[in-house]
């Protein structure tokens, strides 16, 4: 026995690092939308780096423990409580004893958090990943081994090389940048549309002019900023398609991809252009910083 799902939450998915190497077959990367939060949550419990966790979106599940289980919720600061004990602070490990119920409500900032459990959640491997294709449902049994943890804490880490403005996304120019004759894309702000999801963030705001023409569908990747026929941007997410026929004006740099997972509906976004060399240097520094935290937490 493990964790019984009493209420599933809005969109709660078992995730790992995703399915790399299958895009040529039309399969998206999937996996954790905020990889840093997923990694650091697992590190707090000294789990294997690829341990499966529950990705929680906006409103979380209610779970009953069937045996002692070490837990932590990391990422957006969700409102947590355990039956009979009251509130639990996100980013702090805690024990869920047999018969106790964990309730994960909403979050005032951000969008996604990760419930990590000791040893990870047991899921079948499909095409090189244990990320699920469908969210959990009431009555599901999430299998994991009994586990224990001492109190450990790590408030969400803000990597120093990231911009302080939450809605700033750094980009390199896309393959079809020359389809757009001016700098409007970089001079105007956009807002996250309610139609956004893990496949992509649709943005509302200033429509862009583009040259007349059709683009033959070509490969795309997570972070690609496509401009649809209405002149508005769509940023591809971790569940985004593998080919697309809209022109790509820009591409979000890899170091900022996790930020896409935490942008809320209505939040304003502005794009800042960087060079490829700058993007690579920022990514290297961020990876080094994340590796340092994971090493510290493994001690």
* pLDDT of amino acid 162: 44
* DSSP state letter for 265: T
177 forms bridges with which residues in the sheet?
A: none
Summarize the confidence of residues 19-47 as an average pLDDT. Answer: 92
| pLDDT score, position 220 | 95
**For 244-258, what is the mean pLDDT?**
96
The tens digit of pLDDT for each residue in 167-214 reads: 899 999 999 999 998 999 999 999 999 999 999 999 999 999 987 778
- Token pair, residue 163, equals 């911009």
Confidence at 160, pLDDT banded by 50, 70, 90: very low
Do the beta carbons of residue 72 and residue 118 sit within 8 Å? no
Residue 165, pLDDT score: 52
| pLDDT (tens digit per residue) in 44-88 | 999 999 999 999 999 999 999 999 999 999 999 999 999 999 999
Does residue 218 carry a pLDDT above 60? Answer: yes
Residue 150: the pLDDT is 87
Distance separating alpha carbons of residues 137 and 147, to the nearest angstrom? 24
- The number of CA neighbours under 13 Å toward the Cβ of 74 is 30
pLDDT of 16 above 50: yes
pLDDT averaged over the chain?
92
Q: pTM here?
A: 0.94
Range in 18-22, 152-156, 190-194, 284-288 with the lowest mean pLDDT: 152-156
Tokens 């190497």: give the residue: 21
Tens of pLDDT, residues 107-133? 999 999 999 999 999 999 998 899 998
* Percent of the chain clearing pLDDT 70 (strictly above): 96
DSSP 206: P
Q: Is the pLDDT of residue 154 over 80?
A: yes
Check whether 256 has a pLDDT greater than 70: yes
Packed helices 276-298 and 35-44: angle between N→C axes, nearest 10 degrees: 20
Phi–psi pair at 74, nearest 5 degrees = -130, 140
Superfamily classification of domain 168-288: Cyclophilin-like (2.40.100.10)
* pLDDT band with cut points at 50, 70 and 90 for residue 159: very low
Going by C-alpha positions, the residue among 51, 88, 94, 57 that lies closest to residue 72 is: 94
Domain coordinates of the chain in residue numbers? 3-157, 168-288
- For 142-200, the DSSP string reads E----------B-PPP--TTS-SSTTEEEEEE-TTGGGS-SSHHHHS-EEE-TT-BTTE
* Under 8 Å between Cβ of 221 and 241: no
First to last CA, the chain: 30
């Amino acid at each position: 026995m493990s964790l019984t799902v009493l209420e599933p939450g809005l969109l709660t998915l078992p995730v790992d690092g995703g399915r790399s190497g299958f895009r040529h077959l039309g399969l998206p990367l999937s996996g954790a939308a905020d990889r840093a939060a997923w990694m650091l949550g697992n590190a707090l419990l000294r789990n294997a780096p690829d341990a499966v966790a529950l990705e929680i979106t906006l409103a979380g599940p209610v779970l009953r423990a069937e045996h002692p289980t070490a837990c932590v919720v990391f990422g957006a600061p969700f409102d947590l409580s355990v039956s009979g004990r009251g509130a639990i602070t996100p980013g702090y490990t805690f024990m869920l004893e047999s018969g106790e119920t964990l309730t994960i409500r909403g979050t005032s900032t951000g969008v996604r958090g990760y419930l990590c459990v000791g040893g990870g959640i047991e899921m079948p491997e499909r095409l090189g990943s244990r990320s699920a294709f469908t969210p959990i449902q009431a009555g599901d049994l999430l299998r994991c081994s009994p586990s224990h943890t001492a109190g450990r804490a790590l408030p969400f880490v803000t990597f120093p090389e990231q911009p302080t403005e939450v809605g700033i996304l750094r980009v390199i120019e896309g393959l079809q940048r020359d389809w757009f004759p001016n700098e409007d894309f970089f001079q105007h702000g956009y807002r996250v549309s309610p139609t956004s999801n893990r496949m992509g963030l649709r943005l509302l705001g200033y429509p862009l002019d583009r040259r007349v023409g059709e683009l033959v569908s070509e490969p795309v990747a997570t972070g690609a900023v496509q401009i649809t026929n209405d002149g508005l941007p769509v940023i591809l997410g971790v569940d985004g398609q593998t080919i697309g026929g809209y022109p790509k004006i820009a591409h979000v740099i890899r170091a900022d991809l996790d930020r896409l997972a935490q942008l809320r509906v209505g939040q304003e976004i502005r794009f800042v252009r960087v060079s490829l060399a700058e993007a690579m240097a920022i990514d290297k520094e961020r990876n080094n910083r994340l590796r340092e935290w994971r090493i510290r937490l493994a001690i």
